[in-house]
Amino acid sequence: MKVLISCLFLLAVQLGAAQNPDWFPRQQLLTIGVYYYPEAWPEEQWARDMDNIRHLGMEFVHMGEFAWYFEEPQEGQYNFDWLEKNIDLAAKDGLKVILCTPSAAPPVWLLQKHPEVLMVDAQGRRMQFGARANADWNSPVFRDYVAKIDTELAKRFGHDPRVWGWQIDNELGHYGRGFSYSEATAQRFREWLKNRYGTIEKLNQAWGGSFWSLMYQNFDQIQIPNPETLVEGPNPHALLDFERFWAWSAADYLKMQADILHRYSQNQWVTTNFMAMDGMVNPALSQGALDAFTWTIYPVHGGLGDGPLGFRLGNASVMNFMHDFMRLLGPSGPMELQPGQVNWGQVNPWPLPGAIHMWIMQAFGAGAKLVCTYRYRQPLVGRELYHKGLAETDGVTPSIGGREYEAAMRDIIELRKHYDENAQEPKLLASRRTAFLISFDNRWDIENHKQTVRWNTLAHWLKYYRALKSMMAPVDVLTPDRDFSKYPFVVAPAYQLVDEDLIRRWTEYVTNGGHLILTCRTAQKDMEGHLWEAKWAEPIYDLIGARIPRYDDLPVGVEGTVVANGRNYKWGSWGDLIEPRTGTQLLATYADQFYKGQAAAVQHTLGKGTVTYIGVDTLDGKLEHDLLYRLYTAAGVAPASLDPDFIVDWRDGFWVATNFTSKLQMIPASANAEILLGKRLVAPGGFAVWKEK
């Protein structure tokens, strides 16, 4: 009996271990790999290509992303032998394999047999075969086909130890011409609404049906709010619900696929490659369904960026923000990081030599567990002819990007030797750690009803984010379901939709000693997007120690001035006109317009903590920076003063600096720091890694 019990115990331990395997061991730091599409190259080149991937130092290979036709050339006839062969070749080269579900590229026979699964655009046009991502993930017929091919793949490879993980689909939502306006989506939207509201009366109330007689009598009458078929723009409440539904349905589709993969696999992790900063699909909704959180990022594709070299370096803040968001959801990293020039920008310049290497080191510093690049070989046919890969068009010569990936991998291998499992986050950094609270609902609601063309929600967020990075404050981007109570600082920018619970949590947080920073447009509406039947933004008056009776915004070309500590700042998009209560400190005032002298930013001490309310959105974010800097200084956390495009992070004992500016930058290292990679003076597009003694 005793033996049986201990055997059972051992088995349970083993099963437990199998369910929580260490897919991304800490001491490995970061691993680098590449996409390879064997189905697009002659069989006799597979072994050579795989060897060359290994010679570049890559540690894993990513396959099967758009290969549905090759996996199921006719309905129900599966062919995975070619994939098996490549998995074998990869394993012989010591490469781990990420396999993909092919749902982003349904084969012609499927679409011919079931044209109803194709998505419909806002003009009512059904898409056709001839490009990827043309099917509607809300179509039950399509979902059945996806479930079948996923099941076959998972049965075949789910227990294959050579397969390390899975990627579902490709950039869900990106290529779909926006939303799908198909009947299948409309039908699911109605079901979702029924579930949310229960009765049509409740929906009418939430959507404000009394305005313009927009009353529904039953759920079947509801259509997707489509700007193309509405005489005046959509009802904002209906649109907000549709956006919520759409993100939910994307997460539901991912979960459907993830569940199948999990059912048949034991030791493999599952992810999808989300679009960086995409507003339509919310990765946070996939917590619990996915094991890793990866995304795609192409920093250089013709945008200008900051400074003369910005167009060759990419946007430091956007990249880092993604890391700081996705890292909180699980093991994370970019699944597609640019390998060189791309083909789809307005113009497609070269990244600055060294920039690709720098991006990889930035990912390392920000805590990424993996970096993968799209793609190994440059395509010779198809839509992406001018897209670089790690190999040139001859299929064998490493490209400049290929050499940079190789060098980065060498660096990581070197850094692994210096890994110290006992490394603790430096106290000063921990004391500045900031929760950055975002909600997709807010972003949708504000963007749906901006009130001024000058407003840009993402740009507003990034003004604060850049200020934080320049102060070398570690940032965790959190959705409101997460606990922020332990952070010394919380920034919640333009937090338009609130409920009582959030206000209670904010109040408790501050009373207990936290520093809360709220910004313009906060708490104007409830979770349905209705204004309060109360004073404007009244639910936060006690919290911020002030009233916000009104706001202003200025026409394009007109700039208002705000003054703080004797410095002038320009604004134009949004200005809350604040009336502080007695005891609330004035931080900034309007210096012109008919409300000259009125407060633009205030600070309220509440219990052991403070609430800073910055009611104005300045053109360049300098006021936001200066007020944050003052607050962090007063809180005793000695903020740094870096260029916001010179990113300094700490990870597992390593300090990492990456220079996205067009100037030389000095790393903030002590005199006896050990410089492991790079130099103290970092060139544009360069990086340095060091350890403090």
Which spans of this chain sit near ligand GLA (rule: CB under 6 A)? Answer: 170-171, 296, 298, 336, 342, 344, 374, 384, 387
Fill in the amino acid letter for 511: T
In 3D space, the residue among 156, 164, 161 whose CA is nearest the CA of residue 79 turns out to be 156
Tokens of 356: 């690709």
Q: How far is the CB of 301 from ligand GLA (least distance, A)?
A: 8
Give the C-alpha separation, 359 to 484, whole Å.
29
Q: C-beta of 693: minimal distance to ligand GLA in Å? A: 42
Our CB check for ligand GLA shows the closer of 76 and 382 to be 382
By beta-carbon proximity to ligand GLA, the closer residue of 102 and 580 is: 102
Q: Smallest gap, in angstroms, from Cβ of residue 62 to ligand GLA?
A: 11
Q: If we measure between CA atoms, which residue out of 410, 399, 273, 412 comes closest to residue 339? A: 399
Nearer to ligand GLA, 296 or 612 (CB): 296
| Cβ nearer to ligand GLA, comparing 384 with 392 | 384
User: Sheet containing 332-337: which strands, arranged edge to edge?
Assistant: 332-337, 293-297, 269-275, 163-168, 96-100, 60-63, 31-35, 370-373
Here the tokens at position 229 are 């078929």
Q: Decide whether 373 or 659 has the Cβ nearer to ligand GLA.
A: 373
Nearer to ligand GLA, 173 or 480 (CB): 173
Backbone angles phi, psi at 50, to 5 degrees: -65, -40
Report whether 658 contacts 365 (CB < 8 A): yes
Q: Residue 374 Cβ, how far from ligand GLA at the closest point, in Å? A: 5
Give the residue nearest to ligand GLA (CB): 296
- Amino acid letter for position 613: Y
What is the three-state SS of 60-122?
Answer: EEEECCCCHHHHCCECCECCCHHHHHHHHHHHHCCCEEEEECCCCCCCHHHHHHCHHHECECC
Please, what is the minimum distance in Å from the beta carbon of residue 665 to ligand GLA?
Answer: 29
Nearer to ligand GLA, 72 or 171 (CB): 171
Q: Provide, rounded to whole angstroms, the least separation between the CB of residue 117 and ligand GLA.
A: 21
User: What is the C-alpha separation between 399 and 397, in angstroms, rounded?
Assistant: 6
State how far the Cα of 110 lies from the Cα of 71, in Å rounded to an integer. Answer: 13
Give min distance, CB of 133 to ligand GLA, in A: 9
Between CA 495 and CA 565 the distance in angstroms is: 26
Query: Residue 116 or residue 384: which is nearer to ligand GLA going by CB?
Result: 384
CB of 121 to ligand GLA, least distance (A): 20
Residue closer to ligand GLA, measured from CB, 374 or 569? 374
Pairing of strands 560-564, 567-580: antiparallel
Sign of CA dihedral 189, 195, 200, 203: negative
Pairing of strands 654-659, 646-651: antiparallel
Give SS3 for 308.
coil
**Residue 171 or 291: which CB sits closer to ligand GLA?**
171
To ligand GLA, the closest distance from the beta carbon of 336 in angstroms equals: 5
Query: 3-state SS of the chain: helix, strand, coil percent to 5?
Result: 35, 20, 45
* Least distance to ligand GLA, CB of residue 266, Å: 28
392 or 526: whose CB is closer to ligand GLA?
Answer: 392
Grouping H, G, I as helix, E, B as strand and the rest as coil, residue 328 is coil
For residue 344, the minimal CB distance to ligand GLA (Å) is 6
Answer whether 331's CB lies under 8 Å from 293's CB: yes
Q: Which is nearer to ligand GLA, 104 or 562 (CB)?
A: 104
Element (H, E) at 14: helix 2-19
Q: Which two tokens stand for residue 89?
A: 């070749």
CB 143 within 8 A of CB 164: no
- Residue with smaller CB distance to ligand GLA, 384 or 528: 384
CB 611, min distance to ligand GLA, A: 41
Using DSSP, state whether 277 is helix, strand or coil. Answer: coil
Full DSSP string of 424-451 = ---HHHHHH-EEEE--HHHHHHHHHT-S
- Which one, 336 or 617, has the nearer CB to ligand GLA? 336
Residue 544 in contact with residue 613, Cβ under 8 Å?
A: yes
Q: Looking at beta carbons only, is 105 or 599 nearer to ligand GLA?
A: 105
End-to-end alpha carbon distance in the chain: 55
159's tokens: 């227990």
Smallest separation, CB 70 to ligand GLA (Å):
16
Q: Which residue in 448, 380, 372 sits closest to 167, CA to CA?
A: 372
> For residue 549, is it left (φ>0), alpha (ψ between -120 and 50) or beta?
alpha
Closest to ligand GLA by CB, 170 vs 180, is 170
Question: What is the DSSP code string of 191-231?
Answer: HHHHHHHSSHHHHHHHTTTTGGG---SSGGG-----GGG-S
| H-assigned helices in 449-561 | 457-470, 500-511, 541-544
Least distance (Å) between residue 387 CB and ligand GLA: 6
